[in-house]
Amino acid sequence: MNVQFKKGVLDLCVLAMLKDSDRYGYELASTLSETIKISDGTVYPLLRKLASDGLVASYLQESQSGPPRKYYSLTASGKIRLQELLDDWNAFTASVNKIVGGRNA
Amino acid sequence: MNKNEYISALRSQLRRLPSNDVDEIVKEFEAHFDMGIADGKTEFEIAQKLGAPEEVAQYYLSDEVPQFEVKNDGNGTSAGFPIIPVKTGWVIDRGVGPQTAAGFANGQYARPVNNQPPKPEPSDAPNAHVGAKAKETYEKVGPQGQKNIPLPPYPEYPSQNPGRVTKQPKDCHILFAWLFTIFVFIPVWILALALVLLLIAAPIGLGVLCVGLFTWVPGMSVGVGGTVCLAIASAFAAIGAAFVAFFALKGFVLGTIAYIRYIASGCKSKGGNV
C-alpha cells in the first residue's frame, strides 16, 4: 500500500466513525486501535490535520465525570470528503476483488 | 513511562510549535490519560498504547502519515501491542512496549541495512529503568505467545549491562607508583627536610657570624652590633619556624600519610582527607 493510499484510508476510517455521531478523541483512538494496528497517540495528530483541512470541527462539552471533553464532528466539507473517499474505497476493493476472487466480487 | 513523564516528553518534543498549540495538544493527551485511568488502565499501559512521544510529536511537526497495519484476527499474530509507526531504522524501545517477534517476522519493524540489532543510543540511558522492564517482558512473556519465532536479541544499553563493561582503567600503575615513591618522592622529601633544617640552622649560624663581624668593625660597639645581629637572626628564626610549622606539620606529615595510604590501597583511595 502506498503512503497516499494509506493516508486516505486512515482519513476514511476517522471520518466514517464521525458520520453518525460526534465522538471525543479518546473514543476515536481506542475504537480505531481495536481494529487497526496504530498507536493511539497518532490519532490525535491526524484529527488535528483533518481539523486544519476543515473536514472536522471540535467543541468542548461538559461530561458527568471529569473535565469537559473535546468532541469532534464532521463539517459539511468533511461529509463530502467522506463520500468521495468511500466511493474510491468501494471502487478500489470491488475491482481488486474481481481480480483476486474475493467474496464481494 | 507515567503520565507526567509522557506529557513532559511530548511537550519538549513539540517545543518548535507555538506555545498555545502545544498547550492545546498537551491538554488533549492529558485528557486521554485521565479517561484511560477512569477506564481502569494504568498510566504505563496508556503510555504504551499511545506510542513514543517522539513518534507522536513527529506527526505534529511534519506532514507525515501514521503507518498502520490492519489487524488479522485469523492467525493470532494480531493481538500485539500497537505498533509504533516507523520511518527509518529500528523502533528502539523507549519504554513504550516491546517489539514483538511476530512483528519482526512479518516485517512490521524497519530493519537496519546490515540486519543487526539496534545499537544502544546514549540518549536512551536515562530510560534504562523502563528499558529493563520492557526487556524483561520481552524475554519472559515473549511476543504474545509467539515463542516459536526466534527472537532477535534485545538491544542492550551499556548502563544496564555491567558484565559487558570492561574493567575501569586505572589511572595509576602500582609499579610506577612505587618507583615514583623511591626515586622521586623520598629524595624530594629528604631535600625538603634538609631545607627546613637549613632554615633553622641558618639564623643560628648567621647570628654567630654577624656578632663576630660587627664586633670586628672598628668603632661599632658590641652592644649595637649584637642587637642588630640578634634582630636579623630572630627574623630568620621566625621565618624558619613558620616554614617548619607549616610544611613539616601540615604538608609533609599529612601529605605523606595520604600518599602512603594511596599507594598501599593500590591507588584506589583518593588519598586526601586524612
Residue A79 has pLDDT above 90, yes or no: yes
Task: From chain B, pick out residues whose CB is under 8 angstroms from the CB of A66.
Answer: 34-35, 38
Residue type, A77: S
Contact at CB, A44 and B29, closer than 8 angstroms: yes
CA distance A94 to A92: 5
Distance from CA of A32 to the nearest CA of B (A): 10
Q: CA nearest A39: which of B94, B100, B86? A: B86
Query: How confident is the model at residue A71, as a pLDDT?
Result: 92
Give SS3 for A22: coil
Q: Which pLDDT band, with edges at 50, 70 and 90, does A76 fall under?
A: very high
What would the pLDDT profile of B112-161 be if each residue is shown by its tens digit? Answer: 334 444 444 444 444 444 455 555 555 555 444 444 455 555 554 444 44
Contact at CB, A37 and B82, closer than 8 angstroms: yes
Q: CA nearest B29: which of A16, A56, A70? A: A70
Q: What is the pTM of this model?
A: 0.46
Residue A52 has pLDDT above 50, yes or no: yes
Q: Which pLDDT band, with edges at 50, 70 and 90, does A44 fall under?
A: very high
Facing residue for A42 by CB, picked from B34, B46, B66: B66
Fold of A3-94: Arc Repressor Mutant, subunit A (1.10.10)
- Measured CA distances, B158 to A98, B128, B132, B134, B218 (Å): 54, 9, 12, 16, 86
Facing residue for B66 by CB, picked from A10, A65, A70: A10
The residue ranking higher by pLDDT, B226 or A9, is: A9
Query: How confident is the model at residue B184, as a pLDDT?
Result: 83
Query: How confident is the model at residue B26, as a pLDDT?
Result: 92
Query: How confident is the model at residue B173, as a pLDDT?
Result: 65
Q: What's the average model confidence in pLDDT over A25-42?
A: 86
Computed over every residue of chain A, the mean pLDDT equals: 85
Helix (H) or strand (E) holding A42: helix A40-52
Contact at CB, B68 and A10, closer than 8 angstroms: yes
Contact at CB, B65 and A44, closer than 8 angstroms: no
Q: Please state which of the ranges A6-20, A38-52, A76-90, B174-188 shows the lowest mean pLDDT.
A: B174-188
Q: What is the ipTM of this complex?
A: 0.86
Q: Which pLDDT band, with edges at 50, 70 and 90, does A3 fall under?
A: low
Residue A97 has pLDDT above 50, yes or no: yes
**Which residues of A lie closer than 8 Å to B, measured between beta carbons?**
3, 6-7, 10, 24-26, 29, 33, 35-46, 48-49, 65-67, 69-70
Break chain A into its structural domains and give their ranges: 3-94
Task: From chain B, pick out residues whose CB is under 8 angstroms from the CB of A42.
Answer: 51, 55-56, 59, 66, 68, 85
C-alpha grid cell, residue A53: 483541512
Q: Give yes or no for a contact between B11 and B17, defined as CB atoms under 8 angstroms apart.
A: no
What residue ranges of chain B have pLDDT lower than 70? 63-174, 211, 214-226, 247-248, 266-274
The residue ranking higher by pLDDT, A12 or B234, is: A12
Task: From chain A, pick out residues whose CB is under 8 angstroms from the CB of B55.
Answer: 39, 41-42
